[in-house]
Amino acid sequence: MKTWNEIFKEISEKDYSKKLKEFLANERKSYIIYPPKELMYEAFKLTPYSKVKVVIFGQDPYSHPKQAMGLCFSVPNTEILPPSLRNIYKEIGLEYHIDLGNKGGDLTYLAKQGVLLLNPILTVRAYEPLSHDNIYYSMFTRDIILEIEKNNNVIVYLLWGNKAKYYEKYITNKNHYVLKANHPSPLSANRGGWFNNGCFIKANEILKSHNIAEIKWY
């Protein structure tokens, strides 16, 4: 089975990847970019290709200082919980009948269990959400999914919101499952389709049915 490093080496030879590299080099000359360069690929470092059990898509990194850490939705434990992460914890609490009110925001514990916490856009200018939303990252994320689709292990995709659901068309492996819900952001979650959607328990039920260790979500 391939490694992420081997996959990145193949991707790096594509035209769009070279253009993305140039784009980021120019951006870093003029702007503060998050997450720090050394954390840009943290999701892949913490969740090896062969260990992926669940894939969660975010959007782009947090654009405020000290928040973005290379894992979607995650912030260091020293930071206040962003609203979407607060709603993720609320949903876990509803499904498992527990209170996660005092839980810190670092989701490294999930990444180490095989949850790939992937932002389709890996970088952002400080204080400018979606400033790096471009065709290069769209092609990068497409290629990452197509590589995951070559992995015949059982994998569960959690697609939250329309931007995540866009990538469903690339998910074709018969060993892979898709669970969809509204985005956990307050604007979306409060319209329905997020709270009590059951995605965390359902994901574990799928893993368990294939004799795969479940994710400890809390």
Which pLDDT belongs to residue 7?
Answer: 98
- Whether pTM exceeds 0.95: yes
- CA dist 180 and 201 (Å) reads 13
Q: What residues in the chain have per-residue pLDDT under 50?
A: none
The confidence score (pLDDT) of residue 193 equals 94
* Of residues 106, 31, 93, the one with CA closest to residue 63: 31
Is 15 one of the catalytic residues? no
The confidence score (pLDDT) of residue 194 equals 98
Sheet holding 115-118, edge to edge: 115-118, 54-57, 155-160, 176-181
Q: Which residues, other chains included, contact 82 with Cβ-Cβ below 8 Å and sequence gap of 6+?
A: 62, 67, 73, 75, 105
Query: What pLDDT sits at residue 139?
Result: 98
For the chain, domains (ranges, CATH) are 4-209 (3.40.470.10)
CA terminus-to-terminus distance, the chain: 30
In whole angstroms, what is the distance from residue 143 CA to residue 125 CA? 24
Element (H or E) spanning 22, and its range? helix 15-30
pLDDT at 101: 87
DSSP classification of residue 162:
H
The tokens describing 210, both together, are 């294939």
- Which residue is catalytic, options 15, 60, 99, 106? 60
Question: Do residues 161 and 99 make contact, with C-beta atoms less than 8 angstroms apart?
Answer: no
